Amino acid sequence: MVIMSMSSSPAFLPVLERIADEIERTPGRGRPADYIPALAACDPRSFGMAVAELDGTVHGVGDWRQPFSTQSITKVFTLALDLGREGDELWEHVGREPSGNPFNSLVQLEYENGIPRNPFINAGALVVTDRLQTRSGDAAGELLAFLRAESGNPGLDFDKGVAASESQHGDRNAALAHFMASYGNIDNDIPVLLDQYFRQCSVAASCADLALATTFLARHGIRADGSRLLTRSQAKQVNAVMLTCGTYDAAGDFAYRVGLPGKSGVGGGIIAVVPGRCAICVWSPGLDERGNSVAGVAALDRFTTLTGLSVF
């Protein structure tokens, strides 16, 4: 077993190659999300993984440069962009607690007067996107510009087909938005908000792109150009909410197995953060029953085991 101490300089590529080999020999990869045609067509045995160090060095294996649908992963970046603008006022409109319910559930909203449990369930992400829209005038455009800058990839873009599919199957999200608006927790017109939200979720990016874009959280809030997006305390807040709420209603199991702040998406991607060291992105489109990549969780489990890099 290759164990690395926190004080050593990790050689990431041999670890990633070992993980990719183990994943390749593992049967049972789950099933792609089937409610979006572009996702349903993905090969569940596809696998890519990338690690971005704080200086921008990236190591990768497998399909690490193949773009995929980011889906809910983008919720981390819109949260950071809005939190950096309005600070603690945001937390008056969205909570920081695990939901214990499916990511698109309406149940808790009525009990809790239109305040979503956390920013990563759909209701919470709609609130964050709404608030970023109010402050920027184009929440999805703000997100895309951020991802392009942090990844160094000006070619990143929305996938119009995925956005259209999201819109066609968006009745539950519309219901969530209207319900929260009835409590005064949505500012923008619902059609505008939904368009922004569906575009946000449709961004296509690779493991390399997303690992690089996530390193600002490993740098405690500092962007690739050296400017500060979040205070150190705010970066800690985002990482904490990722750890407790970032993998739908499997966050406890993810923390137990992986031990890192992480955020998954139903496109099969997962980002994870080792504060002060690196950011990771893994992609494999086969999902478990709770919407997380089967191979992705297994790969991150092996990564923290082999390297000893964890927040615990």
Active-site residue (options: 69, 72, 136, 202): 72
127: number of Cβ within 10 Å = 27
Choosing from 15, 51, 69, 75, which is the catalytic residue? 75
**Given 203, 248, 263, 294, the catalytic residue:** 248
Choose, from 61, 197, 203, 206, the residue flagged as catalytic: 197
243 neighbors 259 (Cβ within 8 angstroms): no
d(CA 221, CA 216): 5
Integer Cα distance of 309 and 9 in angstroms? 11
Could you give the CA distance from residue 112 to residue 134 in angstroms, rounded to a whole number?
23
Other Cβ atoms closer than 10 A to 188: 18
Q: Which one of the listed residues 266, 273, 274, 297 is annotated catalytic? A: 266
Give yes or no: 72 in active site: yes
- For residue 248, indicate whether it is catalytic: yes
Cα four-point dihedral sign 7, 12, 15, 19: positive
Residue type, 261: P
Which are the catalytic amino acids? Answer: 72, 75, 197, 248, 266
